[in-house]
Structures are given as C-alpha cells and as structure tokens.
Amino acid sequence: MAVLGDVDVVAAAFRRGDWRTARQLRWRRECLFRLLDDLGWSPSNSSEGTALTMPPEELATAASEITSYVGEMIVVHHAEPAVDLDSDELERLYATRAACRVLRRQVLGRQVRVATVGW
C-alpha cells in the first residue's frame, strides 16, 4: 500500500490553506485505509476470501486510487528502466492494476472506460 506514503500531500495542502484539496485528499486516503482494514494489515496465508465492508463508492474510489498509483509506477519503470523493479514486481503491478480495474467495474455495476498505456 505504498500509495498511502504521500499523506504529507494532505498536510502541504492544509498548510497552503487549500482546505478543499486537503479534505478531498484526506477522504481518498481514508478509503485506502478502510480497504486496508478490510484486507488486513499484514500478509495473510489464507486462501479464503475477504469480506469487504466498505460502501461501494468508497471501494470504487480506493480501486481508482490504486490503479492510478500503480499505473504511474509502470510508466516510470518504462520511461526509466533503471528504476529498481524486478520482473516479478512488475508482473505484480500489472496484476494489481488489472484486478483494481475489474473490481471498480464490478462495484459500479457498469462498464467503466479506463485509459490504457500502450504496452
């Protein structure tokens, strides 16, 4: 959940007096923390499913945030191959992005047009 690492962006918006942006960013991060609450805070060896308790709109927002973040990591990797990602990590990023896209479409109950990177 490295996407949570930029919580300082919320603080920066707050310091600038940009209350609207700070509140919006906080809400987005809150969705990610709620998803983490549902999934668990440590890796699980269980093959059982996980019950998600989040409201659908929050789950869709969390999936979108993760999709965007992972997409940026993939773009950076392809633009700067020196970025330290091995093939397994890159494969996990692609799988995570695909899973979040599917989850978002299922949660919203309709097809969602998603921008794709051409590789």
DSSP code per residue over the chain? -GGGGGTHHHHHHHHHT-HHHHHHHHHHHHHHHHHHHHH-SS-----S-----S-HHHHHHHHHHHHHHHHHHHHHHHH-TTSS--HHHHHHHHHHHHHHHHHHHHHHTS---------
Domain ranges within the chain, ordered by starting residue:
2-108
**CB of 100 within 8 A of CB of 48?**
no
Taking only the tens place, the pLDDT of each residue in 56-68 is 888 888 888 888 8
pTM summary value: 0.65
Asked if residue 112 has pLDDT above 50, the reply is no
- Tell me which of 31 and 119 has the higher pLDDT: 31
